[in-house]
Amino acid sequence: MQLYREVGLLAATLLVIGNIIGIGIFTTSGLIAAEVGNSPWLLGVWLVGGMLALIGAICYSLLAIRIPRSGGEYAFLYPTYGPLTAFLSGWASLIIGFSAPIAASALGLVTYLSPFLPDAVSESVLAQKCVAALTILMVTGLLFWGLQFGNRLHSIITVFNLVLTFGFAAAILWRAPISENLEPIFTGNSTPVDLSSLGQAIVLVMFSYSGWNAAAYIAEEIRRPSRYIPGALLLGTGTVIVAYLLMNLAYFGSVPLSQLEGEIAVAEVTALTVFGARGSGLVTSLILFSILSSITAMSIAGPRVYFAMSRDRLLPPWLSEIDQTRKIPLKSIMFQAGVAISLVAIGTFRDILLFAGVILMLFATLTVSVLLRTPREEIKPSHFWVLYRLLPGIFVLVNIVILINVAMSSPRETLAGFLCLLLGLPVYFYYRHQASNKGEPGLMDDPG
């Protein structure tokens, strides 16, 4: 039940980038515009979200160096908060952290492809969900070719995605009358933004940034983890911050705000305004590569969580089986695809965004708080206060304020997230009881 350490710095960095840049940047800007209106916060929330993600990446780097195990939050929380909290974080990864974003990405793709699909498909919710499910199955099937093939395929797709994303933003900024449209945003002539709307906007932004911790999930497969994991997290997150700011400048600099508020297909509206009919094809290509990159990255990273949980006897044992020929946890990959397709069947795009964002922030906050509990004597004195107190403290404090605000303003989505966690409790107690009866502690419980 050992993974293969064959992932280098470039592949790990591109995994982080691919895990972050998905459908979110092409769909959430219009929803955020509806929340904050004509305000500097329209761009400011993306900068705040980026800084939070960067601080989170620094904190996760420290944790990954100390605990170089696959599983992300699950592996980091287990030693400090115990198996129950760790299990719930893994359960959240299964339903919310990976499966929900995969479902949202697939549904968002169908939204963009609607003009190119037959009327019978574009006008039928059921048919759209079928197309989204087929997209997930197609990407998952490509990973069956093995670890090296999956990494190379994802790297190639992500490089194309980056080139198209930066090229798209640069071309629009070059041609659009950006000063005319951005001036009212920067002057903030509209009604002041209330805290409730701002909180929801930041949650949507953090959903778009989710994935900045991707390299931590495959820690056991990365060569030289003490160097490559921090490098991948920081390089990947920094690159995406720049890309996101440029994309939003392109959106709101080229199209009047009134045409984008509440709009999901913001990239298509922007491209049609600037490039005319040719814009649709450009956006479709950009979205296609982004969707493939994002779903592939999440399909690689997510199953490593269930692998780690199964190895600790907290999920069915078959989830920790490694296909020796392909060098991947094949059954975990298939399992996650099935959950994602189930979410496609029962959810809508906006519900999945808010439902996922709150719980993702909760466990990221709890994970970073592990650093605050690090005894001073365990760490070299240089930079201790900054790396183990100041940065984690900022991340935890800001996220707590946002979470409280969102819980008060969006109780339905917040309640749905916590109900999802509660559904995991019977599963936890069942497998914990099974392991106890057999006298088989998990790897995390072993002294060594």
Note the pLDDT of residue 448.
Answer: 35
pLDDT in tens, 302-334: 999 999 999 999 999 999 999 888 888 999 999
Residue holding tokens 């965004």?
353
Stretch 109-117: mean pLDDT = 76
Note the pLDDT of residue 241.
Answer: 94
Distance CA 75, CA 87 (A): 9
Q: Which amino acid is at 280?
A: S
Note the pLDDT of residue 347.
Answer: 63
pTM for the structure as a whole: 0.85
Helix (H, G, I), strand (E, B) or coil at 291: helix
Q: Are 102 and 295 in contact (CB under 8 A)?
A: yes
Q: Is residue 207 part of a domain?
A: yes
Q: Is residue 4 part of a domain?
A: no
Stretch 212-227: mean pLDDT = 90
Percent of the chain's residues with pLDDT above 70 = 92
Q: Is the pLDDT of residue 104 over 70?
A: yes
Q: Is residue 190 part of a domain?
A: yes
Distance CA 180, CA 175 (A): 13
Q: Domain containing 353 — which CATH number?
A: 1.20.1740.10
Note the pLDDT of residue 194.
Answer: 74
pLDDT in tens, 11-32: 999 999 998 987 778 878 888 8
How would residue 446 be classed by pLDDT, with cut points 50, 70 and 90?
very low
Q: Is residue 137 part of a domain?
A: yes
Higher pLDDT, 409 or 335: 335
Task: Give, in order, the Cα–Cα distances in Å from 260 to each of 12, 98, 223, 257.
Answer: 35, 28, 44, 5
Number of structural domains in the chain: 1
Q: What is the DSSP string of 400-416?
A: HHHHHHHHHH-HHHHHH
How would residue 247 be classed by pLDDT, with cut points 50, 70 and 90?
very high
Q: Which domain does 24 fall in, by range?
A: 9-445
Q: Is residue 378 part of a domain?
A: yes
Question: Which among 168, 301, 182, 165 has a CA at the least distance from the CA of 240?
Answer: 165
Q: Is residue 3 part of a domain?
A: no
Q: Is residue 1 part of a domain?
A: no
Average pLDDT over the chain, rounded to an integer = 85
422 is written with which tokens? 């509660």
Provide long-range contacts, Cβ within 8 A and 24+ apart, for 408-413.
408/196, 409/196, 409/197, 409/199, 409/200, 410/200, 410/354, 410/358, 413/351, 413/354, 413/355, 413/358
Stretch 93-116: mean pLDDT = 81
Stretch 336-354: mean pLDDT = 76
Q: What is the DSSP string of 176-237?
A: S-HHHHHHHHHHT-SPPPPHHHHHHHHHHHHHHHTTTTHHHHTGGGBSSHHHHHHHHHHHHH
Distance CA 179, CA 357 (A): 33
Note the pLDDT of residue 190.
Answer: 57
Stretch 222-234: mean pLDDT = 92
Helix (H, G, I), strand (E, B) or coil at 239: helix
Distance CA 132, CA 247 (A): 25
pLDDT in tens, 52-79: 999 999 999 999 988 888 899 999 999 9
Note the pLDDT of residue 368.
Answer: 95
315 is written with which tokens? 């999920």
> Backbone dihedral region of 190: left (phi > 0), alpha (psi from -120 to 50 degrees) or beta?
beta
Half-sphere exposure of residue 397, counting CA atoms within 13 Å on the CB side?
7
How would residue 439 be classed by pLDDT, with cut points 50, 70 and 90?
low
Question: Which among 350, 357, 344, 342 has a CA at the least distance from the CA of 414?
Answer: 357
Q: Is the pLDDT of residue 447 over 60?
A: no
Q: Is residue 376 part of a domain?
A: yes
Note the pLDDT of residue 441.
Answer: 54
pLDDT in tens, 165-218: 998 889 888 877 676 777 777 775 556 777 777 877 887 888 788 888 888 999
